[in-house]
Amino acid sequence: MVLMISVLIVNLLTSYITHRIVHYKTDINPYKFTAIAMFALVFILVPSYRYMSSKIEVLVARFLVSGTNSLGKTLGLLFSFSLVAGVLFLIYLYHWFNINVFDLLSTSTLK
C-alpha cells in the first residue's frame, strides 16, 4: 500500500515539474527545445525522484500507521488507504480530464 501511494504521489509531483518545464517554450526551434527539455528533465527529475520517493514513503507509512492506531489494525489501515487513494483519485481525475467532482456535486445539488 505504501509503495502504491508513494508511486502515485511521486508521479503527480514529477508530472507537475515536467509540465512546467515543457510549457516554458520560447521562440526556439522545436527540435532543439525537445532535446534541451529532455536533458533538463533527466537532470531535474532523477535527483528529485530519489529525494521525494524516500520522503513520501516515510510520510505515507506514518499516515497509514496513524490510521491503524486510531481505528484498529485492519480497519484503520483500510480506512487510511481508502482515504488517501480517494484523494489521489480526485487529483488524477482533475489532472487528466479536468473534472472537478466538487463542482459537479455543487451544481447537481443546486438544480
pLDDT in tens, 56-74: 888 888 888 887 777 777 8
- The reported pLDDT for the residue numbered 111 is 56
User: Distance between CA 48 and CA 17 in Å, rounded?
Assistant: 10
User: Distance between CA 5 and CA 8 in Å, rounded?
Assistant: 5
pLDDT bin (cut points 50, 70, 90) of residue 80 is confident
More confident call, 101 vs 43: 101
More confident call, 54 vs 110: 54
pLDDT in tens, 85-101: 999 999 999 988 999 99
- The reported pLDDT for the residue numbered 20 is 81
Per-residue DSSP letter, 42 = H
